[in-house]
Amino acid sequence: MCCGTKVCCFCLCIILVVIAIGMLFGFGVFKHGFHKLKDTVHDYDPTALLLVPEPPATTKPSEPQLEYFTKKMGCIYKDPNAPIESRIKDLLSRMTLKEKIGQMTQIERSVATLTAIKDRCIGSVLSGGGSKPFYKANSADWADMIDGFQNAALESRLGIPMIYGVDAVHGNNNVYGATIFPHNIGLGATRDADLVRRIGEVTSLEVRASGAQYAFAPCVAVSRDPRWGRCYESYSEDTEVVRKMTSLVTGLQGQPPEGHPKGYPFLAGRKNVIACAKHFVGDGGTDYGTNEGNTMTSYDDLERIHMAPYLDCISQGVCTIMASYSSWNGTKLHTHHFLLTKILKEKLGFKGFVISDWEALDRLCVPRGSNYRHCILSTVNAGIDMIMVPFRFELFLEEFMSLVELGEIPMTRIDDAVERILRVKFVAGIFEHPLSDRSLLEVVGCKPHRELARAAVRKSLVLLKNGKDQKIPFLPLDKNAKRILVAGTHADDLGYQCGGWTATWEGKSGRITDGTTILDAIKEVVGSKTEVIYELHPSPETFSGQGLSYAVVAVGEAPYVETGGDDPVLKIPLNGAELVSLVADQVPTLVILITGRPLVLEPWLLEKIDALVVAWLPGSEGHGITDVIFGDYGFLGRLPMTWFKSVDQLPLHIGKQNSYDPLFPFGFGLNYENKGDLN
């Protein structure tokens, strides 16, 4: 009980202070601290805080809450019906420098703690090649992991969702059980833009099922030299073929409506993913086919040969573009203000965001990773909007913050980058639908998807030889032959069949995912009375007294990626030529070449064999090969690259008219009537 007026007034003051503090805690002011509230540009209405609490960031606001925030507090960015540019402007005005820089940061999932995502306002998380929740993780496992990251992002002060990126370059190839399509070099052999679009649609569904919203595809490099270790990621040496295959963008993102503003990003709905055209620009034209090398050419040729496919991607509303590791005339693309800003953003009108490649900043200085501060400065000021750090993000954020505070990176550059990132997030509907759609899990690796992959394999096969005598075709093979031999390193190896960027970064041998090998498919298609003998490396005893009707020998390249695939000699690896010669000396032989590029084919070897089919890197559906070699379908594929006689001729492509003397010209492909070039 109070005993005196002065004491009562004092107690009353204490009570009022306690009530005020309680109300502030209840409505979340102390949740972020006064220093953070003062750090924002937006001036909050203090009376409004006493009326309606902000809804939890992990849940979608109710209609009354949404109406309240929009009309009373002017929280336009939370209104899905507001114009996107208005939402961007509103959200940007509320963001601190720390939050803006966080949005420009992409980190690898292995270092992405929930606390870091929330407190640093990280804009994007990715899985590097082969980085997964655990071995043989399926789509549901991926969705669990990604939703966990997303919930952390939604708990940040402004509730800005992150985007999760994956290298879905031939299907959702990191995920066990996903449909694996032929690599781009094989799709280029089909010349079928609509097929590629449909592959994009299937890929988007399977990526979305895993919870990811962002696919680092398509690669629209124009590969001019097969010595390049990323040759199989290119559709062709010919710009026009690559331009046709940019239809993958529409498959992934959906078809923009008529009149959609050129350069403005587009995404149709929840079943589509953010695409990424890469690697800008000229990565396929480096000297000697050196990965991350130097492309020496005029601007006119750079624009005509290598830049043209990006115009098609931009016209389809591609959301993001990735810069190349390579250089143009000695200047690294990641620091090239003229190409990234003056050309890509200003001349071509690209309004999405430009992202760096993996650890690209570390590659800008010698020794690698040194002078990190300068690397950040030169890259961001050149026009890179989001940086794929991916590991040492704490140092990155610290140095980045300092550069902005000292004025070395202007706030106008920061705001431009963040506007572009937010634009893509709003366009993609991630604010409204941040979490995975579990209803899509049932379509992953389903029969219709695998049938499409099988059709893609069929259409990609290129027949280079069919019979030692052109009047007597060797193919199609007889399904009811008495006894056949299947041999070679690639006949029963799903990992070799899929190539790099499958299950792991480099790819590997073995049953790495669900699928059908060439041997599996042969055993299924031949008659019940046909005996199939399989030996990886046949011994001389195999041929004695066996009465073999014919042999199918599958050889080719072991999986590789990027610089590890650079090859100055381009011989068939794993003693492939010797194995083919051994078998062809004993029995009529079909050779199936599993490769990401043209390889050396010696004249003596070509003379020995009866038929030669290039299957490229076909993916998980081996039935696509047997569909054609046994005659159920015809050959439709045409060479997407010139097949050279000798590596001394390289680079050899259709642009070198004065010295064009190939073994097989660009566009070559036989059919069952031996009519020659299908072109």
Domain-embedded: residue 454: no
Residues 494 and 419 in one domain: no
What does the pLDDT look like over 127-137, one tens digit per residue? Answer: 999 999 999 99
Domain-embedded: residue 668: no
Residue 359 domain boundaries:
102-443
For residue 203, the domain's CATH number is: 3.20.20.300
Tell me the torsion sign for CA atoms 612, 613, 619, 622. negative
Residues 125 and 49 in one domain: no
Band of the pLDDT at 595, cuts 50, 70, 90? very high
What does the pLDDT look like over 143-158, one tens digit per residue? Answer: 999 999 999 999 999 9
Domain-embedded: residue 125: yes
Domain-embedded: residue 351: yes
Residues 168 and 301 in one domain: yes
Q: Report the mean per-residue pLDDT for the chain.
A: 91
Residue 1 clears pLDDT 80, i.e. is over it: no
With CA atoms as reference, report the closest residue to 210 among 257, 265, 166, 160. 166
Q: What is the reported pLDDT for 369? A: 85
How many separate domains does the chain show? 3
Domain-embedded: residue 415: yes
> Mean pLDDT, to the nearest integer, of 316-333?
99
Residues 393 and 512 in one domain: no
Q: Is 562 a catalytic residue?
A: yes
Rounded to whole angstroms, the Cα distance separating 126 from 236 reads: 28
> Mean pLDDT, to the nearest integer, of 478-492?
98
Residues 484 and 392 in one domain: no
Residues 43 and 106 in one domain: no
Residues 552 and 433 in one domain: no
Q: How many CB atoms lie within 10 A of CB 661?
A: 12
Residues 358 and 467 in one domain: no
Q: What is the reported pLDDT for 73? A: 56
Band of the pLDDT at 60, cuts 50, 70, 90? very low
Query: DSSP character for 654?
Result: T
Q: How many alpha carbons fall within 13 Å on the CB side of residue 555?
A: 26
Domain-embedded: residue 297: yes
Residues 205 and 329 in one domain: yes
Residues 117 and 28 in one domain: no
Residue 515 clears pLDDT 70, i.e. is over it: yes
Phi/psi-derived region of residue 330, left when phi > 0, alpha when psi is between -120 and 50, beta in every other case: left
Domain-embedded: residue 675: no
Rounded to whole angstroms, the Cα distance separating 295 from 134 reads: 39
With CA atoms as reference, report the closest residue to 236 among 663, 657, 618, 598. 598
Q: What is the reported pLDDT for 26? A: 40
> Mean pLDDT, to the nearest integer, of 374-391?
98
Strands (E), 151-233: 163-166, 214-215
Domain-embedded: residue 257: yes
Q: Given the residues 167, 292, 357, 385, select the one marked as catalytic.
A: 357
Q: Is 673 a catalytic residue?
A: no
Residues 67 and 108 in one domain: no
> Mean pLDDT, to the nearest integer, of 401-411?
99
Rounded to whole angstroms, the Cα distance separating 102 from 107 reads: 10
Residue 366, burial from CB neighbour count under 10 angstroms (0-12, 13-18, 19+): exposed
Give the H/E segment covering residue 139.
Answer: helix 139-154
Beta partners for residue 107, in sequence order: 125
Lowest model confidence (mean pLDDT) among 41-50, 230-239, 407-416, 622-631: 41-50
Residue found under tokens 């399904």:
479
Q: Given the residues 192, 562, 567, 621, select the one marked as catalytic.
A: 562
What does the pLDDT look like over 437-476, one tens digit per residue? Answer: 999 999 999 999 999 999 999 999 999 999 999 889 999 9
DSSP β-ladder status, 531-535 and 550-556: unpaired
Rounded to whole angstroms, the Cα distance separating 450 from 619 reads: 10
Q: What is the reported pLDDT for 67? A: 55
Band of the pLDDT at 668, cuts 50, 70, 90? very high
Backbone phi, psi, residue 552, to 5° = -115, 115
